[in-house]
Amino acid sequence: MTDIESVSYRRTDLACETDIDKRNAPGVSFYEYERGGVPVSIMTVEYGSGESAAGRPAGTYMTVTAERPWMWEDDRREGLVSLLSELISDAIFSAAGKRPCADFSVLVCGLGNRALTADAIGPLAADNVTVTAQLKAERPDLYERIGCCRVAACAPGVTAATGIEAADVISGITDNIAPDVIILIDALAARSCSRLASTIQISDSGIAPGSGIGNRRRALSRSTVGVPVVTVGVPTVVDSSTLVWDALEKASIDSASLPDSLREVLETGRSFFVAPKESDVVTREMARLIADAIDMMCGTA
């Protein structure tokens, strides 16, 4: 089965699942390391040739693989929180040219639909982040003693529920509070079931909400909102067509031999999405994990 015939129907938001030779693609650099037994991969996509090769915007994409972290012991989980905190700080430095410090302003935005379990990581993470913007206004003396970042949080909802693009809501808030950086948290689509709730992607390149499930909304990036944008995402669903394409490829089945009826279903996207059986636990605990990492980075933990 040729990649040309199937790759465009494989939905994934993860840079680590890009269909290229990451170590030899022009304009793309890739390396891996471990921290406390946790694998980390970093893929850098350069403007121009890198974007063409990777099929995604220029930027740095950091991927942390942590299988079932909601079942980890407290000390091991704390190590993962520390790692994520450092990587988010690295992404902020890459995007904004400075690291979070006292009085650094952060706007945390939880994207997604809190009414859908597999899409609720963003809103739940925003709920769990410790906000301090009001403290600076109401108790400036206490705020200065704490020495933390100025943190605000919001969950703009989805267009189907609000009638308003998330990008418009975030742009309006940004115009009013002028944050130094925006951190977007969102549920992602993966290509492999093994990635579900075991992968965390951090990027400095912004995001197009809904792109992984074929419902692309207006992009959120520095060019659209006027502020550096860092994204943190966790894959919670896999498209059923993507699973079938990968299974066919692993079985060395030529796409040309497929019945027309099956090809039509796979190619037109008339499919459903697969989520972990423990989606409620996954969503709640991964949201807390990301929120704890942001709190640690901002000095509010």
The pLDDT score that the predictor gives to residue 292 is 98
Residue with tokens 């407290």: 74
140-151, pLDDT tens digit by residue?
Answer: 898 888 889 999
The residue that leads in pLDDT, 126 or 194, is 126
| Residue 189 Cα to chain centre, angstroms | 10
Amino acid, res. 155? A
Q: 267 falls in which pLDDT band (50, 70, 90)?
A: low
In the chain, at which residue ranges do the beta strands (DSSP E only) sit?
A: 28-35, 38-45, 59-65, 105-110, 150-154, 181-190, 199-203, 229-239, 273-274
Average pLDDT value for residue range 203-231: 76
Q: 212 falls in which pLDDT band (50, 70, 90)?
A: very low
3-state class of 22 per DSSP?
coil
- Integer CA distances (angstroms), 275 to 7, 51, 171, in order: 21, 30, 31
- How many CB atoms are closer than 10 A to CB 293? 26
In whole angstroms, what is the distance from residue 186 CA to residue 110 CA?
6
Residue 255's contacts (CB-CB under 8 Å, 6 or more residues apart) are 1, 2, 5, 6, 248, 263
3-state class of 151 per DSSP?
strand
92-139, pLDDT tens digit by residue?
Answer: 999 999 999 888 999 999 999 999 999 999 999 999 999 999 988 899
In whole angstroms, what is the distance from residue 233 CA to residue 229 CA?
13
pLDDT of 271 higher than 70: no
The mean pLDDT of the chain is 87
In whole angstroms, what is the distance from residue 89 CA to residue 85 CA?
6
Average pLDDT value for residue range 247-273: 70
24-47, pLDDT tens digit by residue?
Answer: 889 999 999 999 899 999 999 999
Residue 42's contacts (CB-CB under 8 Å, 6 or more residues apart) are 30, 31, 32, 60, 61, 62, 63
In whole angstroms, what is the distance from residue 111 CA to residue 130 CA?
17
The pLDDT score that the predictor gives to residue 117 is 92
Out of 3-17, 112-126, 200-214, least confident range: 3-17
Largest CA distance in the chain: 72
Q: Which domains does the chain have, with CATH numbers?
A: 3-298 (3.40.50.1450)
